Each structure stands twice: as C-alpha cells, then as structure tokens.
Amino acid sequence: MAALVPARAGERVLEAGTGAGAALLCLAARVAGVRGVGVERGAALAGLAAQNFAANGFADLAVVNGDATALPFAAQTFQHVMANPPWFGTQNTPSPDAARALAHHAPGPTLGAWVGEMLRVLRDRGSITLALPAFAYAEAAALLRPACGGILLLPLWPRRGVKAKMILVQAQKASRAPDAVLPGLVLHDENGITKEAEAVLREAAGMTG
C-alpha cells in the first residue's frame, strides 16, 4: 500500500488504522522527508507505533490514539491518506485475539465511515489509497466516486494465474482523470517471493500509479 502512495518530501500523509506503524515506516524509508501521522484506536498499538518510529529515527512520523471514523484533524489537512480498513462483517467469526478482531472486523458500514473521514481531511487533488479484499472493490469505488476521479485498481496476485484476493485502490480527490487498471503485482513464484515483490518489500521500491 505504502509503495503506491505518490508522496513527496515535505508532504503530509495520514494513515488511518496505522497499527504498529509498518506502512508509514515503509513510506518514510522510500520518501525521505515525508511527514506522516498514524491514527490508531488501540492504545497499546499506538504506543508501539510511537516506539517504532522513534527506534527507526523517523522524527517526522507521529501517532495519535484515536478513531478513524472521527479523525481529530481539520478538513483539507493532508496531501495523501491511506488505510487498510477492517473488512470482515459481523457474519464472519472474529479472531480470538482482541487486537486482530479489532483490526479486521467491521461492526457495521465501517468502510463508508472510514472513506468519508479520510476524504474530509484530504486536500483537493490529493490521493487516497486503500488496501482491500477484492470483493470490496465495487463498494470502495462507489464510495470514492462522488468526490474522486482517476480511480486506479492494482491487483495483488498470490501467484501468476491465480485470482487476486487482495487489491490496492487509489483515487484523486476533485479529479476528472479517467479510471485505470494497473498491471498489478505477482507476490510468489516457484522460488518463493518474486523479485518484483522483494523490490517493494526489501528495497523500498515504489509502484507507479
């Protein structure tokens, strides 16, 4: 997800539901000078994210213990926003681990609440990037469409020839750009992780939107 965010040095980036801060750490490793803020509802995870930012020497990264559906920021604050929102509904069996259940299970129409708040704090012409299960694409596109254009779909294939279970979706606020399907990324081959995936995971390579 962080590899697709088109951030530049000095720009402000929000991650809703930052967890332990991994995505912001990846973005900061790729884009020197980016200013990132993570919002995390779990107090313990928020504390861990703060420790991770400090331990890795990223003084321009910060974390706020708060709710992604009620972000504590003014409108038009960030040039970029990103999230891996909870996607399992109440019909799915939650994880026995409370933190994992909180991260992955949505109590109601959570995606709409997350997207609405993220768009509120996003500046015009800024980007919103979401990591989602493939089945959520139609809902995400519908939520983005009133405010955004240039909706991009990037499939993440477990292996070549296998249906994508996860996707990345990106859009630009207040844009009339055409939608597009990007080439996507194959994660594994017969040798393990593909070279392309390794470049993203280990070498801070970006993905072009």
**Residue 193: inside a domain:** yes
Burial 155-180 (b: 16+ CB within 10 A, else e): bbbeeeeeebebbbbbbbbebeeeee
CA 78 to CA 20: how far, in whole Å?
21
**Residue 209: inside a domain:** no
What is residue 146's DSSP assignment?
Answer: T
Do residues 15 and 71 touch, judged by C-beta distance below 8 A? no
Q: Give this prediction's pTM.
A: 0.90
Rounded (5°) CA angle 179-23-107: 75
Q: How far is CA 167 from CA 107, 132, 154, in A?
A: 22, 5, 6
Q: pLDDT tens digits, residue range 81-118?
A: 999 998 755 444 444 555 554 554 455 568 999 999 99
**Residue 208: inside a domain:** no
DSSP 45-64: HHHHHHHHHHHTT-TTEEEE
pLDDT recorded at residue 170: 98
**Residue 207: inside a domain:** no
**Residue 24: inside a domain:** yes
Report CA torsion sign: 40, 121, 23, 50.
Answer: negative
For residues 163-176, average pLDDT: 97
The torsion angles phi and psi of 150, rounded to 5 degrees, stand at 60, 45
Task: Indicate the average pLDDT of the chain.
Answer: 91
| Torsion angle in degrees (nearest 10) through CA of 109, 112, 116, 117 | 50
For residues 169-190, average pLDDT: 97
**Residue 107: inside a domain:** yes
CB atoms within 10 A of CB 44: 11
Specify the number of domains making up the chain.
1
pLDDT recorded at residue 105: 47
CB atoms within 10 A of CB 141: 15
Q: pLDDT tens digits, residue range 63-80?
A: 999 999 999 999 999 999
Q: Residue 70 sits in which domain range? A: 2-202
pLDDT recorded at residue 10: 98
Nearest C-alpha neighbor of 18 from the set 44, 51, 48, 40: 40
pLDDT recorded at residue 204: 85
CATH of the domain at 67: 3.40.50.150
